[in-house]
Structure 1
Amino acid sequence: MKSICVFCGATAGTDPAYREAARAFGETLAREDLGLVWGGGHVGLMGVVADAVHAGHGRSFGVIPGFMVERELAHPFATELLVVESMHARKAAMAERAGGFVALPGGIGTLDELFEIMTWAQLHIHAKPIGLLNVKGFFDPLLAFLRHLVAQGFVKQAHLDLLKIADDPATLLAQMRQHRPLEGDWIGKLKPEQA
């Protein structure tokens, strides 16, 4: 795990704890010599994480769609910045470059990225660790809903267990280093009535 792809808000949210957690996460990446892979923006929590990485002399690889560059949303200090044509291309490039994935507080875009990367792990498209930085219990309602999906037979517990969860950056990264990929073929184990 040499780099972490961070999914988080393009705004900072209402609680100052979110901004502080993003800063701490970026500082931890730089200190542990883990490159940052992110959406290339300078706004919101994305910008806070990137600023902290750069302040700590860390490496960063931003991926940003051209329309966001035109709106002057690109971070000016990215070590590398890849401009792509679409949001789909952005997610694919970020996933390819990352050694693991972490979601911080964010909105619909953050959840979209998180769920896509969880789906890819479930389907064995990748075997990289996935983490949630659960700042002040931000993800607790989501985790409760995911447990509901398990109870209702729509998600397997093994797939939910792929998520590493902590409220401290160093603890979360340590858990992610212990990640073991899923075994077996998820699709091949489905019975016709489950498909």
Structure 2
Amino acid sequence: MKRIAVYCSSRFDPNMKYLESFNQLADQFISQGIDVIYGGANVGYMQVLAKRIAESTSQLIGVMPEFLVEKELVFEGCDEFIYVKDLPGRIQKIMEIADGFLVMPGGVGTYEELMDMLSWVQLGLHHKPVGVVNVDGFYDGIQTQLQRGLEDELISSSLSSQVFFHEDPAVVLEWMSSRSEEEYWDVFDEQGKQTAIVHPRSVPLMANQYHKVGMIVFVNEDKDVLIQKRAPHVAHPNLWDFSAGGSVLAGEDPVVGANREIMEELGVSYELQPKDFFFQFSHRNMIIDVYLVNKTFSNFDFSISNEVTEVKWVSLDTIGEMIADKSFKHSYVQTHILSKLYEKLS
């Protein structure tokens, strides 16, 4: 992570009991070469962090609304200063330019910023990690409230992997770095209608939530089907499966996602057409779009994703035998697709 936004207090508590944590955080930023985005002020704990970063090789970026500039609260040591119209504009700008968000002890403005980032990540407006440095249990109350919302299923289960609480700034930063490459899905309801929620792949979906999957079956003129063998290091290692397929990513059109899977897994370029759509069905937390393509390929490149080790053309009967001896993926998804192929190709 190159740029992290910090939300914190523009005041000091009487005993300055959070000062050590702010200095520890600054040490981590400086040692890791992380640039800091913050509210741009020269007061309170915001100033403590700003001074430390300004004296280092890390860049300090301030973002401040015009009415606060007029109150002469600007920290002059920023490497870059961005002026915005109002407080919502500040939150929006910081969200756009930061790689992640770290929350230190603060007041109601800090709480607002934290809740905005959590709300926006649930809505898919960003997919960036939110870390909370819970010094002296400062955020225990908010953490408890969020947990209650998760338990009562008023908050999507995805939140459990999108925010992290810990008292040590170094641990929070380590978690944020590990989450920066998370893959997200759009969430659909039982009727197949897309909701406003996005969900990290690493967290199980709730009972009434679904994500889109594309499965592509290539068939040649002899009605043989192209199948692929999964690599040893991926899910379902060394098992055979239909031609290509995988999850549709958040914000991705299902057809675009299916085209991407064809390229990533097989290394061939093919643009699916409306006539290629075969059928759709639901299983567990998946809504599966199946495409049937009458086309023969002979040259493949498995190096793009390294998920596949080999391919071959086989008959439907051979696939049935492979499912029976468990050398082919043998879930309901594969058997259902096979039955539909028999109906179509017989």
- Structure 2 distance, partners of 1:165, 1:147, is 12
- Structure 1 distance, partners of 2:33, 2:48, is 18
- Gap change, CA 1:164 and 1:80, over 3 Å in 2: same
Structure 1: 5+ residue stretches without partners: none
Correspondence for 2:86: 86
- Gap change, CA 1:15 and 1:133, over 3 Å in 2: farther
Q: Displacement, 1:46?
A: 1.2
Matches within 5 A, 1:33-48: 33-48=33-48
- Structure 2 distance, partners of 1:20, 1:181, is 31
- Gap change, CA 1:158 and 1:44, over 3 Å in 2: same
- Structure 2 distance, partners of 1:7, 1:15, is 20
Correspondence for 1:164: 164
Correspondence for 1:113: 113
Q: Displacement, 1:182?
A: 5.8
- Structure 2 distance, partners of 1:51, 1:190, is 52
Q: Displacement, 1:15?
A: 4.3
Instruction: Report percent identity of matched pairs.
Output: 29
Q: Displacement, 1:181?
A: 3.3
Correspondence for 1:185: 186
Correspondence for 2:22: 22
- Gap change, CA 1:189 and 1:9, over 3 Å in 2: farther
Correspondence for 2:289: none
Matches within 5 A, 1:2-13: 2-13=2-13
Correspondence for 2:98: 98
Q: Displacement, 1:166?
A: 1.9
Q: Displacement, 1:39?
A: 0.6
Correspondence for 1:62: 62
Correspondence for 1:131: 131
Contact 1:9 1:107 (C-alpha < 8 Å) held by counterparts: yes
- Structure 1 distance, partners of 2:51, 2:16, is 16
Please give the per-residue CA displacement for 1:25-66, whole angstroms capped at 9, x wherever unaligned.
122212211000011111111111111212333211100011
Contact 2:33 2:57 (C-alpha < 8 Å) held by counterparts: no
Q: What's the TM-score, normalizing by structure 1?
A: 0.91
SS at match of 1:96: helix
Contact 2:127 2:184 (C-alpha < 8 Å) held by counterparts: no
CA RMSD of the aligned region, Å? 2.0
- Structure number with the higher helix fraction is 1
- Gap change, CA 1:98 and 1:154, over 3 Å in 2: same
Q: What's the TM-score, normalizing by structure 2?
A: 0.53
Structure 2: 5+ residue stretches without partners: 197-346
